[in-house]
Amino acid sequence: EDQVTQSPEALRLQEGESSSLNCSYTVSGLRGLFWYRQDPGKGPEFLFTLYSAGEEKEKERLKATLTKKESFLHITAPKPEDSATYLCAVQAGGTASKLTFGTGTRLQVTL
């Protein structure tokens, strides 16, 4: 069975204090690993898709990386508007659209 574990559950950073979120996964034949951001009461907002080990993608203060067992979401010099829950999900080969999600990391960035 596909599994996704995210750590830490919650993270509090000061503005400008860089850090990384971890997503460990076990899946039979990774088709894709997805990062989403979710604000309270809203649907997940797409951030990145990674397909193979060694791949990296960047967007503003965020950078996602992928190995064969885990993915990291690096946040550089975060701002208060980066506060949200960050969700990691995997899609296994042969499962059409089914995404298996982790429980998320709740990030709070303070001034």
Partner 1 sequence: KAGVTQTPRYLIKTRGQQVTLSCSPISGHRSVSWYQQTPGQGLQFLFEYFSETQRNKGNFPGRFSGRQFSNSRSEMNVSTLELGDSALYLCASKLQGAADTQYFGPGTRLTVL
Residues that bind partner 1 (CB under 8 A): 31-32, 34, 36, 41-46, 49, 51, 87, 89, 91, 95-104
- Taking the complex as a whole, how short is the minimal distance between the CB of residue 3 and partner 1, in angstroms? 12
- Residue with Cβ nearer partner 1 (42 or 68): 42
- Taking the complex as a whole, how short is the minimal distance between the CB of residue 7 and partner 1, in angstroms? 14
- Residue with Cβ nearer partner 1 (65 or 85): 85
* Cβ atoms of residues 70 and 23 within 8 Å: yes
43 contact partners, CB below 8 Å, separation of at least 6: none
